[in-house]
Homo-oligomer: A and B are copies of this chain.
Amino acid sequence: MSIEAVIPFKPSNPKSRLSSVMTVQERELFAEAMLHDVVIALTEAGCRPCILSTKTLHCSHARVSVCDEELNPALNSILAQRNEPLLIIMADLPLVNADVIRRVTGTARDIGIGPGRGGGTNAIFIKDCSRFHVDYYGASFMKHAGIAKESGLSVEVIDSFRLYTDVDEPDDLVELFIHGTGYARQFLESSGFSLRIEKGRVGISRNTG
């Protein structure tokens, strides 16, 4: 039986730390392209993606559930009512592929966590949802490891840079250029972005002409 994967998503004014390189309309399209890449990886891995969106949204490959609650209470009410495993995965992970999704959901432990750079939690797979709750924001990776420990649940840390690389800042676009192959990378290219290598450092530049 396929595993349900919840993807929290905020369509309005997303990715504000990219404001210096993209307009708000571009950021909205870019966020949707990244979401699309995550949905495709999940589908290829045999999961059932369900987007938990703060407003109405159309996506041909995923169920969409609209919810204007805050992230933690929204997810925790889902967890409390659930008696099947659940994967929660962020929408800004355009490097993920089916292989790494399978590594997360295939964990032999009670919980599989894919940390994000800077202490976040980019993916978490929970086998027994009634024994766990989430606490996102800040150093959520450590908080989630602590909650699991308190509940006597074993944890596997999934060692993947594809899962670890959330795209928040202009520097992160470099990673997408180097390692991405999907919609989000295509969006960057068609918007005039390219890799620039100067004095041994790799960055991005943009041709707006």
Contact = CB atoms under 8 A, between A and B. Distances in A.
Interface of A: 99-100, 115, 117-119, 137-139, 141-142, 157, 159-164, 171, 174-175, 178-179, 195, 197, 200-202
Q: In the complex this chain forms, how many copies of it are found?
A: 2
Contact of A99 (B138, B159, B175, B197): B159
20 contacts: A100-B159, A115-B178, A115-B179, A117-B175, A118-B202, A119-B174, A119-B178, A119-B197, A137-B200, A138-B197, A138-B202, A139-B178, A139-B197, A141-B178, A159-B161, A159-B162, A160-B160, A160-B161, A161-B163, A161-B164
Contacts of A137: 200
Contact of A139 (B99, B162, B195): B195
A117 B99 CA distance: 20
